[in-house]
Each structure stands twice: as C-alpha cells, then as structure tokens.
Amino acid sequence: MSGPIRLAVIGMGKIARDQHLPSIAGNPDFELVATVSRHGEGEPDTPFFHSIEELAASDVKVDAVALCTPPQVRRAIALAAIERGWHVFLEKPPGATLAEVEALNEAAAAKGVTLFASWHSRFAAGVEPARAWLADKAIARATITWREDVRVWHPGQDWIWQPGGFGVFDPGINALSIATCILPRPFFVEEAELDVPENRAAPIAARVSFRDAAGVPIAMDLDLRQEGPQSWDIVVETAAGTLTLAKGGGELTLPQGAAAPPASDLEGEYPGLYARFAALVREGRSDVDVAPLRHVADAFLRGRITQVEPFID
C-alpha cells in the first residue's frame, strides 16, 4: 500500500480522544478520514457517522479502522470491517471472549487483511529492557500490584461492570500483557479470589496466584478502589537482584542502578502501537496474541467469588 493508510476511529470515548487521535495525527502513515460513535460528536472537519454501516454506505474511502468500543460489542463491528476488506486495530482487551477473537483472526486471514490485537502497556519505556534483562536470569518470585481509582480512570463507564466488561481485569490485563512479555517462561493460574460488589456483575478487586513452568510463584493484587497514589508495579526477584517496573512499565529499576527513562501516564505507548499497526498493514501480516486474555479467562474459571459491599459510581 502506497500513501497514507486511510483510517476511521470507531468508538469516541476517553481513550480514543486522549490517546488514539493524537497518535494518529502524529504519524504520517495514517490519515484520519472519519470517526464513528453511537453517541456524542466527531472531530471538526472530519466526517462523522453513528455506525459502521453508515460509514460503509458513504463515499468516504477507508483502508483501516481502529475499534475503541467496549469489548462486548466489538466482534460484530470488527467482522463487518473485515468483510469489507478493511484492516482492523483492536483496542485492549481485543474482545469479550477468547472464541470471538480467534474467529476474527480466522476471518481476517481468510480475507487477507491485517488484524492487530493491541496491548499498549507492552510499548511502555521499561518493558523491552526488562524483558531483555530477565531473559537469562534465575527468577525466584514475581509480584504484580495494580491498584487504581476506577472513578478517575473509568468515570461513568458502566460497561466495565457488565458481563464481558472485565471489571478490575480491564486494567489488570495491562499488567498481564507486560508479564507475559517480560517473564521468560509461561505461567498458569493456580487459584484466584474475586471480590464482586453485590450490585455489579464484574469484580472490583482480585488476588490471583500463578506459577510458571519451573514452579516460580507469581502473585497478582488488583483493586479499583485505590485512592491517593496509584500503583502499577511489577517486582521480579532474581538471583542477580531485584527488577522493578513502576508506573505501568514506564519506569525500570535494575540492581545495578540502570533504569529506563521515566514516563508519565501513557506517553509513548500509543505512538508505538500505531507504528506497529502501520508496519503490519504494509507487510500484510496480523498480530493477535491472546495470552493476557487467556489468563483473565482462567482467573474467572478458577476464581472463588466473594460478594462485597455495593459500588456506587
């Protein structure tokens, strides 16, 4: 494909406006040609539609779409795009179930278009250096602490509490996307405790115990009720010392004191995602890694559910 990739963004919520639109504007490989949302408004001087069907019926030329909708409705929209020969960028999590993501991957392959299941936290500044450092280390244990205030990061987003909305695993899957990237061996859920508010269908907190293929324990603590300082940390203890990834992977500290430059919020992650998507489209390839989603599914399969006090947003 020569020239910019003509891209439409579908789902104009907070993440689309805060991260996707600036990253698209800063990447010459893309041209934003439309936005689509059931509610709200589009961007100035950019065609706006209320559905993918309206977009397809228009005279706007589209090569690819970025889906920023809640995961519960994403499969049908993605499939409609694939059937039209459009390349598809899936915001995380890539779908509400493993089966639907696998079906989309098969559909994309049959149609010859790119499907990209994006994991933005893997593009944080400290993640790749952490993976490289851990590759030959003897790991003793790992601890994942992901505690944030849902009122700050998901204000008024009721979908997160619905079946298929993931609850605390919506941010928690970011931690799992990093862990599955940096840890050198596969790991598995042994047990999980899920705290579900009595007025909600998805957990507000979870404790998950994993063990890797060599028997190394990995503990994960997730909570959406954190006030004050937020915690997005992964600590890996090794025979060579302790590695710490803080700020969602943006800040790396190694035993010898070397560290990746600190980053704030999601700076740099989404530009990296769009660079990756452009490369995949131009190379005619897909990238659909479901390992983080599989761990979430396993946590629900093996989880003991405890009902806790109601959550009022």
Catalytically active residues are 92
| Cβ burial, residue 302 (10 Å; 0-12/13-18/19+) | middle
- Cα distances from 52 to residues 76, 84, 247, in angstroms, run 10, 11, 36
Q: Count CB-CB contacts under 10 A for residue 251.
A: 20
Q: Is the peptide bond before 93 cis (omega within 30 degrees of 0)?
A: yes
Q: Which helix (H) or strand (E) holds 197?
A: strand 187-197
Kindly report the CA angle at 192 between 190 and 197, in degrees rounded to 5? Answer: 170
- Cα distances from 223 to residues 30, 94, 102, 135, in angstroms, run 37, 22, 29, 29
Residue ranges in the chain assigned as alpha helix (H): 14-15, 21-25, 52-57, 74-83, 98-111, 127-134, 150-153, 169-182, 269-283, 291-302
Residue with tokens 């530009």: 271
Kindly report the CA angle at 283 between 29 and 275, in degrees rounded to 5? Answer: 35
**CA–centroid distance for 68 within its chain:** 11
Question: Which amino acid appears at position 164 of this protein?
Answer: G
